[in-house]
Structure 1
């Protein structure tokens, strides 16, 4: 079993399905709803666990009822939560999420309050075969990436805005969303943005672009791996699942193209189920879709 350290956000998502996203200051009624664990890093950690890896999550929570709910959901999925730091009188993070009939989502997040800013506890993480961080807490992410360097393992950044340059310098792998790439480069052109960052940082870089697949840097230019075609119900958490699956595949020794294809399959399957993290697939489902599309 491959161990992956994940550092970043863990929240509760209040997810509501509706025909179209809210546009006015009035009352709306959901067609269906779920209360489910969420957060960039927490979703990735759950994906790793469901896909057969061993995930340790480093996250900051308050010592409050929402924190209890977040931890219980993570532990149910088999995520190691011993590195989760809980602050007395702190308030845990949560999100209100709306999902429309096309599966697109709108998120309002409260980042939490009174949570620790210290990073020394991160050094207590167990040695892992890969490290994955989000961008929500730069100091913590940087400390985790330093561990990746010390262990000589992949250090992967889930590249969402805002993204501090220090994380790009410390990472071995940068995996941007298209919006994340634009925020850093100022251009919406994927090839130009990737080439700009490859010249600047010299590490492996990709952009996940939803149904358009993944574009990534190689010594011979920009390469592309298409997405799997599925009926999209809910995209909430799909990017997080992608990053978790990608990190796990690297931890297992796969090369980047194979890791991208594995992650594409996991993210596609997640999009077929409503409820954010609830749609995260297991290893068997991913292997099936990969085999069907050989």
Structure 2
């Protein structure tokens, strides 16, 4: 089978995780219990997920002129991701997420850095790359004007777009009409629709309010989706022993993009994506836990 060509346009970060038994007070210095750094950013994560599941992947993003950039690019290239369209900027550092973990809770500060230098003009210069894609996969950790430009360009070229609307903001419906499929979780969909988060609606009622094809992730509950003919369906989650849920959503989006690019039905793609994301939570780390295609296919046979 020919590998589907997926262009991922999005963020690239280094996640720096500090573990501590006590959260410091203002002005206080304490000892931590551990430190780790990981390759991250929704764009980079989804690119790795697509590559491991069998796609030919091109990454479009921005990094700084620093050691972190080298780490990111080397990690993506090791996975077989094409990084020639990752732009290096000298005036901003590579994006960083500073994460403090304490008592099974975390506090995160994201410094977008070079991610906010990914602007519409650069996307428009890659018209031929997007035109040669089977799918464009987008998230919202880059400037909204860039997301908007990428959607409009792909739409004009007849290339389907999957938008993972995270971090969530209310989006104009005229833009969403250009998106092939949107993949929010429950809270992201409520924000996207401009609803009060406290409003109690079932998954089905939330999805019914969105007028276009949609897949809504539900964590351990699996995923709910609306077919092109408007029918709402539920793909049950797979039972696994969760070790780390980081990156499960990115794995889901990558798996969905790969299967749809191969011509699978929405139902088949969602089933595959639910299985892939379930496998991803059985190992530590966002990218380190992402499964290979053969792993997912064996898991689905159980």
- TM category (shorter chain) comes to 0.7 to 0.9
Counterpart in the other structure of 2:190: 182
Contact 2:120 2:150 in 1 (8 A): no
* Ranges in structure 2 where 5+ consecutive residues have no aligned partner: none
Counterpart in the other structure of 2:73: 71
Residue 239 (structure 1) aligned with residue 246 (structure 2): no
63-72 vs 48-57, which moves further: 63-72
Counterpart in the other structure of 2:178: 170
- Kindly tell me: are residues 100 and 143 of structure 1, through their superposed partners in 2, closer, same or farther at Cα, counting changes over 3 Å? same
Q: CA RMSD in A?
A: 2.4
Distance 2:169 2:62 in 1: 19
Residue 211 (structure 1) aligned with residue 214 (structure 2): no
Counterpart in the other structure of 2:97: 95
Deviation by residue 1:214-248 (Cα, 9 ceiling, x = unmatched): 11113354210011111101111110111011111
Q: CA deviation at 1:162?
A: 2.3
Contact 1:133 1:141 in 2 (8 A): yes
Query: Which of residues 55, 58, 80 is equivalent to 1:56?
Result: 58
* Ranges in structure 1 where 5+ consecutive residues have no aligned partner: none
Distance 2:11 2:102 in 1: 24
Counterpart in the other structure of 1:29: 32
77-86 vs 179-188, which moves further: 179-188
Q: Which of these two proteins has the greater Rg computed from alpha carbons?
A: 2
Alignment of 1:111-260 (within 5 A): 111-112=112-113, 115-116=116-117, 118-123=119-124, 124=126, 125-126=129-130, 127-136=132-141, 137-160=143-166, 161-165=168-172, 167-185=175-193, 186=195, 187=199, 189=201, 190-198=203-211, 203-218=212-227, 219-260=229-270
Distance 2:294 2:246 in 1: 22
* TM value normalised by structure 1: 0.87
* TM value normalised by structure 2: 0.85
Distance 2:70 2:137 in 1: 24
Alignment of 1:10-49 (within 5 A): 10-15=12-17, 25=25, 27=30, 29-30=32-33, 33-49=35-51
Q: CA deviation at 1:54?
A: 0.8
Q: CA deviation at 1:150?
A: 3.1
Q: CA deviation at 1:258?
A: 0.7
262-271 vs 115-124, which moves further: 115-124
Query: Which of residues 71, 74, 86 is equivalent to 1:84?
Result: 86
Distance 2:66 2:277 in 1: 31
Query: How many pairs are equivalent?
Result: 284
Contact 2:16 2:98 in 1 (8 A): yes
Contact 1:138 1:164 in 2 (8 A): no
Q: CA deviation at 1:270?
A: 0.9
